[in-house]
Amino acid sequence: MTAIDQPQAPPAQQTTFAILVAIGLCHMLNDIMQSLLSAIYPMLKDDFALDYGQIGLLTLCFQVTASLLQPVVGIFTDRKPLPKSLPIGMGSTFCGLILLAFAPTYPMLLAGASLIGIGSAIFHPEASRVARMASGGKFGLAQSLFQVGGNFGTAIGPLLAAFIVVPLGRPSVAAFCLIAALGIFILGRVSRWYAGALTAAKGRKPADKTLPLPKGRIVTALVVLAFLTFTKNIYTASISSYYTFYLIESFSLSTQQSQMMLFLFLAAMAAGTILGGPIGDRIGPLAVIWVSILGVLPFTIALPFANLFWTGVLSVAIGLILASAFPAIVVFAQELLPGRVGMVAGIFFGFAFGMGGIAAAFLGTMADNYGIAFVYRVCAWLPAMGLLTIFLPSRRKLRVAG
């Protein structure tokens, strides 16, 4: 029996890399399929004669569906874990792809985007819990491995769209159902390990859920973390939803060329995610949050005024620095709310999706009225909100309180 089928030691004592790799791989497969939605926006815009506001509404349906359901799923599974829900979530994404490939009308496209959002809502809280259970105490590393799979999948999606969907047409999106089928198979095996780990944990003392700080201090810190996630994901939404259009409009690039540039940004985000967790394990998540959010500000301010070459360089720097914040934010929130992994994952993964969706819809309307370049000039100042990090408690205070 392999490590992916049965835990060899209690999860708190041993880092189970087979599970971390498997769950990261499935996160990659999940986000490859999700990223197809934004990657085929130029095609959908032409096929259905959509304006930027309608493009934003597609993102809104996808991300807000996930946002509304993820906290609910996370809170419920904190009380009653559901290992079998992992392959079920991937099945919802499978159905969403079918609709995206063959939808005859715009409302059907919205339904497909919503099904993909539902798949995300089911997948992320339980998958994040599995990553923490398999971490062996290396929580930052586990979150980075889990999240880098998603970021890498998001980066690959536009490339696959450029070289498969654009030449072959929208129905070729259905071919990616093979990826969903692979994900369902792997998650079926992960769910068996997960169920075994839960059984092994029944005889042990329940996790201590005592808050490390007064409730009011916890609420303030969570609001700050949520707002930092909000500002980070507004900027990320401006890139993932409209960067290809910005490049086409500003530099007369082809759709394939613009998607290659988007890949550079998303690949840099994947690299930043890898770095954020392990560095946070060494120096603490608070320091990573400070550097990541505020450190990106000079680059975002310069981006709207750069030529094509420097636009590529700056987008890579922005992705690398900005992405390192999210693993640190999740780990910090888990320290604030011990024993509530599903709730934290639901709130922050869900919040990330939902706020990005709301931002995408708003930014689309702004782009219709004022132009895409104006959107990037406004969004450039969002990282200044990183100054709110001053209101977060230090790790020393958390340790003393704990």
All domains of the chain in start order, with CATH: 17-202+210-401 (1.20.1250.20)
Residue 302 has what pLDDT? 94
Examine the pLDDT at 104 and tell me if it is beyond 60.
Answer: yes
Residue 11 has what pLDDT? 43
Residue 5 has what pLDDT? 46
- Across the range 205-234, mean pLDDT stands at 81
Examine the pLDDT at 241 and tell me if it is beyond 60.
Answer: yes
The whole-chain average pLDDT of the chain stands at 82
- Across the range 309-324, mean pLDDT stands at 92
The set of residues, in sequence order, having a beta carbon less than 8 Å from that of 369 and lying 6+ positions away, is none
| Cβ–Cβ < 8 Å for 312, 258 | no
Residues 334, 343: Cα–Cα separation, whole Å? 9
Confidence band of 388 (pLDDT split at 50, 70, 90): confident
The set of residues, in sequence order, having a beta carbon less than 8 Å from that of 259 and lying 6+ positions away, is 39, 158, 159, 161, 162, 166, 244
Q: Give the pLDDT confidence of 216-226 residue by residue, as tens digits.
A: 888 898 889 98
Top mean-pLDDT range of 42-51, 145-154, 258-267, 310-319: 310-319
Residues 118, 112: Cα–Cα separation, whole Å? 10
Out of 102-116, 191-205, 223-237, least confident range:
191-205
Examine the pLDDT at 6 and tell me if it is beyond 70.
Answer: no
Examine the pLDDT at 185 and tell me if it is beyond 70.
Answer: yes
Residue 353 has what pLDDT? 60
Nearest to 79 by CA among 121, 10, 134, 129: 129
Q: How far is CA 5 from CA 1, 84, 132, 179, in A?
A: 6, 14, 17, 21
Examine the pLDDT at 398 and tell me if it is beyond 70.
Answer: no
Q: What stretches of 252-304 show up as alpha helix (H) in DSSP?
A: 255-283, 285-295, 297-302
Stronger pLDDT, 114 or 206, i.e. the higher one: 114
Confidence band of 390 (pLDDT split at 50, 70, 90): confident
Residues 43, 259: Cα–Cα separation, whole Å? 12
Q: Give the pLDDT confidence of 134-166 residue by residue, as tens digits.
A: 888 777 778 778 877 877 787 787 778 778 887
Examine the pLDDT at 276 and tell me if it is beyond 80.
Answer: no
Q: Give the pLDDT confidence of 344-362 residue by residue, as tens digits.
A: 877 777 766 666 667 777 8
Map tokens 């205070």 to a residue. Answer: 397
Confidence band of 82 (pLDDT split at 50, 70, 90): confident
